[in-house]
């Protein structure tokens, strides 16, 4: 276990009588794309929110690079390299695409108590930000106000912002949600390009994308991890088929 | 874009013309033998300084404070009391105002910024009312009547604020400096972080910024600027009273900022000017001036949704180049 990037031990989260995360244990290896699937209400987002630090678990522990991070707030985890991208698009709508990413670069570079120099003229902010936009294929849209961009572009921007903080691990919560087939395809290509460069925990409904991208898959049902394995193992797993893939959800 | 693009952008043009016109007021007033206008323009500039200070957190940080008159009042009391006790040194006044208003804004902000939205509005209002009633309770300083004093902040033998023309240009200079600093601030990393917080605070935390301390520093800066405006106001009126801190004063300040336009640094200056000019004109026409002022406000909000600054843009006053800031 020592070499795992992220280790979750017996994580539990209750909302009143509802057990949203029920003793989940999981180990994510450096460099892998680990997908998490499960029917609606299986507690995928709840789990991601605990990993990112937005929700406190009721029990269990989370380790990142061997260090316990269970009590750390979100921004501390971000600085360690554990970075989340959002299910509901969460950008800075009234700033340009480039400003959005430059802001993420700026925060990553340290504190922002600089009152004098024009941040829009700092090369050390603008150049990396441009590089990120290039990487996600948005460079042509750099000057566009984020609010005026399409949903698919928002998701790309979202990834660029997450990359700006040079993450060791990305938590991607449904990056393809609400996308048309073309946009989804572009996102799959984008993520495939990141494969190997950054470890990814991917929560996704789009099974085609999951089976194309994932090195390993964990299946979550009613807050419990019922199976973890390589895509072909998951496809063959009887329990998984019964709980999830079997009833018409395979495509 | 350089921060002092005096004529290149629409906002730069408006600002330059407006500040130049203001600087000519004393000459015109002398020529017309209407010295009242010097005092009136000084008053406008003082509230413009406060409005720019409030907009620093309102427009750029998204924090709607309904209690900023408290800092104006506090600054005024500091200078009033200092002079009352025979301290005339302007540098001492300035240092006291910066420290006391900064500290007060820091403490009040530390509590208020635990909340957001409507709760933030209400709790800033509550703190302002608290200070208002402290002022009312100061019986030895006139209680709710306040007190008058004789004397001005004196910075040097050749620079005291007794002479109304000197005072006018000092206030003009303070306004210009406040604007200059505000322009630098909103374009700096700090300003960018602040706009990120306004735009999406949740996301700002997610990319790793502890937002609370940034909002708090912005709040304190804004409080100090309003405190300086208050110190100047005390010099102008030779009078301080709790009325300076009344919640309706905080409301007026908000109206000035919103009327002028919260998305530009200079907008609030226009807002303060329009507010005080309208007040002057209407109140000399009728005792019930607010009866007319209300509808005018509604018209401004309806037809210049983002304030006067954006209305000027729509009117086509642009001479090439877009707004400096979104």
Q: Residue A42 domain-assigned?
A: yes
- In chain B, residues with a C-beta closer than 8 Å to the C-beta of A166 are none
Q: Are residues A143 and A70 in the same domain?
A: no
Average pLDDT over residues B97-106: 98
Q: Among all chains, which residue has been given the structure tokens 């109304």?
A: B164
Domain-wise residue ranges, chain B: 10-314
Cα(A41)–Cα(A45) distance, integer angstroms:
9
Judge: A114–B190 Cβ closer than 8 Å, yes or no: yes
pLDDT at B324 over 50: no
B198 contacts in chain A (CB < 8 Å): 94
Query: Cα(A204)–Cα(A44) distance, rounded to whole angstroms?
Result: 9
Preferred mutation among B4, B61, B195, B207 to probe A, highest tally of A CBs within 10 A: B207
- DSSP annotation of A248 reads I
Q: Where are the alpha helices (DSSP H) in chain B?
A: 10-31, 36-61, 69-84, 90-112, 117-137, 164-187, 189-206, 211-237, 247-260, 267-285, 289-303, 308-314
Residue at which a domain ends, from A166, A200, A222: A166
Q: Check whether residue A247 and residue A136 sit in a common domain.
A: no
Which of A134, A166, A198 is a domain's end point? Answer: A166
Tell whether A88 is covered by a domain: no
B183 touches chain A (CB under 8 A): no
Domain of A196 in residue numbering reads as 1-81+167-251
- pLDDT given for residue B94 in this prediction: 96
Q: What is the pLDDT of residue A131?
A: 93
Task: Provide mean pLDDT across the span A21-35.
Answer: 95
A138-184, pLDDT tens digit by residue? Answer: 999 999 999 999 988 998 998 898 888 889 999 998 888 888 888 88
pLDDT (0 to 100) of residue B306: 78
A251 band by pLDDT with thresholds 50, 70 and 90: very low
Confidence of residue B224 (pLDDT cuts 50, 70, 90): very high
Q: Beta partners for A37?
A: A219
Angle of CA points B156, B173, B198, to nearest 5°: 130
The answer to whether residues A235 and A112 belong to one domain is no
- Chain B CB within 8 Å of residue A46 CB: no
Q: What CATH number is given for B10-314 in this structure?
A: 1.10.3470
Q: Report d(CA A88, CA A86) in Å as an integer.
A: 5
The CA distance from B14 to B270, in Å, is 10
Residue pLDDT, tens place only, B21-48: 999 999 999 999 888 999 999 999 999 9
CA distance readout (Å), A130 to A143, A194, B35, B316: 11, 17, 56, 33
Q: What's the token pair of residue A165?
A: 């903080």
Distance CA B86, CA B199 (A): 48
Mean pLDDT of all residues belonging to chain B: 90
Are A118 and B3 within 8 A, CB to CB?
yes
Of B1, B188, B192, which has the smallest distance from its Cβ to A103's Cβ?
B192
Q: Is A87 a member of any domain? A: no
Of A144, A166, A188, the residue at which a domain comes to its end is A166
- CA angle, B241 then B57 then B48, to 5°: 50
CATH number, position A182: 3.40.50.300
Domain identity same for A66 and A180: yes
The Cα B234–Cα A69 span in angstroms is: 54
CB contact under 8 A, B192 and A91: no
Confidence of residue A196 (pLDDT cuts 50, 70, 90): confident
Residue B159 touches chain A, beta carbons under 8 Å = no
Q: Are residues A11 and A56 in the same domain?
A: yes
Domain count, chain A: 2
With an 8 Å Cβ cutoff, are A106 and B189 in contact?
yes
Q: A-chain residues within 8 Å CB-CB of B190?
A: 112-115
Q: Nearest residue of A to residue B180 by CA position?
A: A116
Averaged pLDDT for residues B209-214:
93
The answer as to whether A251 is a domain residue is yes
B294 in contact with chain A, both atoms CB, cutoff 8 A: no
Report the pLDDT value the prediction gives residue B317, as an integer from 0 to 100.
Answer: 47
Same domain? For A160 and A146 the reply is: yes
Cβ B196 vs Cβ A100: under 8 Å: no
Is A130 in the same domain as A175? no
For residues B48 and B302, the model is more confident at: B48
Using left for φ > 0, alpha for ψ between -120 and 50, and beta otherwise, residue B122 falls in alpha
pLDDT for the residue B5 = 59
pLDDT digits (tens, 9 = 90+) for B148-207: 999 999 998 778 788 899 999 999 999 999 999 999 999 999 999 999 999 999 888 877
Phi, psi of A229 (to 5 degrees): 175, 180
φ, ψ of residue B156 in degrees (nearest 5): -160, 170
Orientation of helix A123-135 relative to helix A151-164, angle to 10°: 130
> Both A141 and A182 in a single domain?
no
A17 within a domain of the structure (yes/no)? yes
Q: CA-nearest residue of chain A to B204? A: A104
Q: Do the domain assignments include residue A250? A: yes
Q: pLDDT tens for residues A76-90? A: 898 899 988 765 667
**Same domain for A5 and A42:** yes
Say if residue B64's pLDDT is above 60. Answer: yes
* A45 plus A63 within the same structural domain: yes
Instruction: Establish if A79 touches chain B: CB-CB under 8 angstroms.
Output: yes
pLDDT recorded at residue A203 = 92
pTM reported for the whole predicted model: 0.83
Q: Is residue A119 less than 8 Å (CB to CB) from chain B?
A: yes
């Amino acid at each position: 276990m020592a070499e795992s990037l992220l280790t979750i031990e017996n994580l539990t989260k209750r909302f009143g009588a509802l057990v949203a995360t029920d003793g989940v244990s999981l180990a994510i290896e450096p460099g892998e794309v680990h997908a998490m699937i499960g029917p609606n209400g299986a507690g995928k987002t709840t789990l991601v929110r605990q990993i990112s630090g937005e929700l406190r678990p009721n029990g269990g522990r989370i380790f990142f690079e061997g260090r316990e991070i269970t009590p750390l707030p979100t921004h501390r985890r971000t600085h360690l390299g554990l970075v989340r991208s959002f299910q509901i698009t969460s950008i800075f709508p009234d700033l340009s695409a480039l400003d959005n990413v430059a802001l993420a670069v700026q925060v990553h570079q340290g504190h922002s108590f600089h009152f004098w120099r024009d941040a829009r003229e700092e090369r050390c902010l603008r150049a990396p930000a441009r590089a990120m936009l290039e990487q996600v294929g948005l460079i042509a849209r750099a000057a566009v106000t984020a609010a005026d961009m399409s949903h698919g572009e928002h998701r790309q921007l979202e990834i660029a912002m997450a990359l700006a903080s040079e993450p060791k691990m990305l938590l991607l919560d449904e990056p393809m949600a609400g996308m048309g087939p073309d946009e989804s395809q572009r996102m799959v290509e984008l993520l495939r390009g990141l494969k190997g460069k950054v470890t990814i925990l991917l929560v996704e409904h789009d099974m085609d994308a999951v089976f194309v991208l994932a090195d390993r898959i964990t299946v979550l049902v009613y807050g419990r991890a019922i199976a973890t394995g390589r895509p072909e193992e998951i496809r063959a797993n009887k329990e998984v088929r019964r709980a999830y893939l079997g009833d018409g959800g395979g495509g | 874009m350089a921060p002092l693009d005096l004529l290149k952008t629409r906002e730069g043009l408006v600002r330059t013309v407006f500040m130049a016109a203001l600087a000519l007021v004393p000459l015109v007033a002398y020529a017309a033998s209407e010295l009242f206008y010097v005092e009136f323009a000084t008053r406008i500039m003082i509230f413009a300084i406060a409005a720019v200070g409030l907009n620093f957190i309102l427009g750029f940080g998204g924090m709607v404070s309904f209690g900023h008159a408290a800092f104006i009042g506090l600054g005024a009391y500091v200078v009033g009391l200092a002079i009352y006790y025979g301290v005339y040194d302007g540098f001492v006044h300035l240092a006291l105002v910066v420290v006391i208003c900064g500290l007060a804004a820091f403490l009040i902000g530390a509590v208020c910024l635990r909340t957001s939205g409507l709760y933030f509005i209400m709790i800033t209002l509550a703190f302002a009312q608290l200070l208002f009633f402290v002022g009312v309770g100061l019986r030895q300083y006139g209680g709710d009547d306040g007190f008058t004093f004789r004397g001005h902040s004196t910075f040097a033998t050749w620079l005291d604020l007794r002479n109304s023309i000197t005072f006018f240009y000092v206030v003009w200079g303070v306004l210009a400096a406040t604007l200059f600093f505000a322009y630098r601030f909103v374009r700096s990393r700090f300003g960018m972080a602040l706009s990120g917080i306004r735009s999406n605070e949740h996301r700002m935390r997610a990319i790793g910024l502890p937002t609370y301390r940034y909002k708090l520093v912005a709040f304190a800066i804004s409080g100090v600027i309003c405190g300086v405006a208050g110190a100047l106001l005390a010099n102008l009126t030779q009078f301080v009273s709790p009325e300076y801190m009344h919640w309706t004063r905080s409301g007026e300040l908000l109206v000035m900022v919103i009327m002028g336009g919260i998305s530009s640094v200079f907008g609030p200056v226009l807002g303060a000017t329009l507010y005080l000019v309208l007040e002057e004109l209407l109140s000399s026409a009728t005792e019930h001036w607010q009866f007319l002022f209300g509808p005018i406000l509604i018209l401004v909000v309806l037809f210049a949704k983002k304030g006067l600054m954006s209305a000027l843009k729509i009117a086509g006053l642009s001479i090439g180049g877009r707004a400096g800031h979104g």
